[in-house]
Amino acid sequence: MKIAVLPGDGIGTEIMAEAVKVLNVLDLKFETETALVGGAAYEAHGHPLPEATLKLAKDADAVLFGAVGDWKYDKLDRPLRPEQAILGLRKNLGLFANFRPAICYEQLVGASSLKPELISGLDILIIRELTGDIYFGAPRGRRTATDGHFPGAEEAFDTMRYSRPEIERIAHVAFQAARKRSKRVTSVDKANVLETFQLWKDVVTEVGAQYPDVELDHMYVDNAAMQLVKAPKKFDVVVTGNMFGDILSDEAAMLTGSIGMLPSASLNGSTQGLYEPSHGSAPDIAGKGIANPLATILSAAMMLRFSLNQPQTADRIESAVKDVLASGLRTADIYSDGTRKVGTREMGDAVVAAITKKTTKG
Ligand code: IPM
Ligand code: MG
């Protein structure tokens, strides 16, 4: 088994070091190979996703990804910006199904900006389509307008589009995921305004008929954004397009008060996948040794479960993380009175210690 390790920019290198440390105490047989990606790759090779990095990712069983981006690259031409690395990996590896769980850890209830009773026990799964929609739709660009409100003016345009098979396959992923949970799917669209999302709604409804045991409802995206802060526990599996999923998954993650805790998986229908924390590269705290490595460590657990067929080892990591939280250790982002503030490395060491302690006991 081969894991491509792509730490990226900002806090990426620090959090990845801890995840790799955890993987290395699990006595599994795998090989890792590290490569540059994002701004770091641009600095070294003039491109955020160099050929060699893409080849490594394609040939690997799984990709463990840190984070990319820094404001200092905002002025670069779009194809050279760090974000293009993650978009390029998604596209080239065909990673169309993005799993973004939003789980509220009981010990962190106080870290949410919502009232504890609204989020205590929260466990929702956002399934975001990841290779279509306005993110990748052609044509796009800049031109001189020939019609509209200001003919002759400079304008920019993107294309929102989805084909029936693209919607079908992500709908199947959502219904199958729901079968392993509480058998409820909410499909989020904007069918009241957009043709693209009328097709989305129609196709999800059709696919849903093949899963009579799963309850399906539909919600407009603006209402979904509202319901997420009003009564988030009403959701279980949420399935939506690339753009709406980008926005709603950040909202859902922040509800839990612990975006630094949340992993994600991007899958392509085979067992190959890319695993990354739900948070970004946080350049403001990079290099300070204070970032929370738990989302990356938990992403490694998801990788073991989905791509490397090691569900029990994944459980071991997840239960070690819970033990560490129960022991009161917190990085700055989840710190509250009465807990003990630790840095990135100390948090990684604590997870390693919790894993080895259980191994010696068992
Ligand atoms: C995400 C990020 C990316 C996206 C950016 C970095 C391109 O926000 O993974 O949610 O928009 O998909
Ligand atoms: Mg996003």
246 is catalytic: yes
CATH number, domain with residue 307: 3.40.718.10
> Using a 6 Å cutoff on CB, does residue 215 contact ligand 1?
no
Which ligand neighbours the alpha carbon of 135 most closely?
A: 1
User: How far apart (Å, rounded) are the C-alpha atoms in residues 156 and 12?
Assistant: 33
From the list 2, 55, 59, 222, the catalytic residue is 222
250 is catalytic: yes
Would the pLDDT of 252 be above 80?
Answer: yes
Tell whether the torsion through CA atoms of 167, 88, 20 and 68 is positive or negative: negative
Question: Which range of residues forms the domain containing residue 112?
Answer: 100-261
Which of 60-74, 226-240, 252-266, 293-307 has the least mean pLDDT? 252-266
- Ligand 1 atom 4: residue of nearest CA: 246
State the distance from the centre of ligand 1 to the C-alpha of 139, rounded, in angstroms. Answer: 20
State the distance from the centre of ligand 2 to the C-alpha of 197, rounded, in angstroms. Answer: 20
Nearest-atom number in ligand 1 for the CA of 264 is 9
> Using a 6 Å cutoff on CB, does residue 246 contact ligand 1?
yes
Same domain? For 91 and 9 the reply is yes
Would the pLDDT of 273 be above 90?
Answer: yes
Render pLDDT for 317-359 as a digit per residue (tens, 0 to 9). Answer: 999 999 999 999 999 999 988 999 999 999 999 999 999 987 7
pLDDT band at 282 (very low <50, low <70, confident <90, very high): very high
CB contact at 8 A, 331 and 347: yes
How many domains, the chain?
2
State the distance from the centre of ligand 1 to the C-alpha of 304, rounded, in angstroms. Answer: 23
Same domain? For 84 and 106 the reply is no
Same domain? For 51 and 110 the reply is no
Looking at 232, 261, 290, the residue that finishes a domain is 261
Would the pLDDT of 258 be above 90?
Answer: no
pLDDT of amino acid 361: 61
135 is catalytic: yes
Same domain? For 17 and 59 the reply is yes
Same domain? For 154 and 256 the reply is yes
Looking at 246, 261, 276, the residue that finishes a domain is 261
pLDDT of amino acid 257: 82
Nearest-atom number in ligand 1 for the CA of 250 is 10
Same domain? For 257 and 156 the reply is yes
Same domain? For 141 and 238 the reply is yes
| Nearest C-alpha neighbor of 171 from the set 156, 157, 185 | 185
User: How far apart (Å, rounded) are the C-alpha atoms in residues 303 and 314?
Assistant: 8
Same domain? For 59 and 5 the reply is yes
Q: Is 19 exposed, middle or buried (0-12, 13-18, 19+ CB in 10 A)?
A: buried
Q: Which amino acid is at 141?
A: G
Which ligand neighbours the alpha carbon of 67 most closely?
A: 1
Average of pLDDT values for 290-305? 97
| Nearest C-alpha neighbor of 73 from the set 64, 62, 63, 84 | 84
Which one of 87, 134, 299 would you pick to mutate in the ligand 1 pocket, going by the greatest count of ligand atoms within 8 A of its CB? 87
User: How far apart (Å, rounded) are the C-alpha atoms in residues 128 and 328?
Assistant: 33
> Using a 6 Å cutoff on CB, does residue 251 contact ligand 1?
no
State the distance from the centre of ligand 1 to the C-alpha of 250, rounded, in angstroms. Answer: 10
Average pLDDT, the chain: 96
Would the pLDDT of 168 be above 90?
Answer: yes
> Using a 6 Å cutoff on CB, does residue 323 contact ligand 1?
no
Looking at 243, 261, 279, the residue that finishes a domain is 261
Same domain? For 132 and 244 the reply is yes
Same domain? For 318 and 342 the reply is yes
Render pLDDT for 68-123 as a digit per residue (tens, 0 to 9). Answer: 999 999 999 999 999 999 999 999 999 999 999 999 998 889 888 899 999 999 99
User: How far apart (Å, rounded) are the C-alpha atoms in residues 210 and 255?
Assistant: 32
Mark the residues whose beta carbon lies below 5 A from ion ligand 2: 246
236 is catalytic: no
Same domain? For 231 and 113 the reply is yes
> Using a 6 Å cutoff on CB, does residue 247 contact ligand 1?
no
Average of pLDDT values for 36-47? 98
User: How far apart (Å, rounded) are the C-alpha atoms in residues 189 and 195?
Assistant: 10
Strand ranges inside the chain, DSSP E: 2-8, 31-34, 62-67, 97-103, 123-129, 141-144, 154-157, 184-189, 215-220, 237-240, 263-267, 273-277, 329-330, 340-341
- Ligand 1 atom 10: residue of nearest CA: 246
> Using a 6 Å cutoff on CB, does residue 86 contact ligand 1?
yes
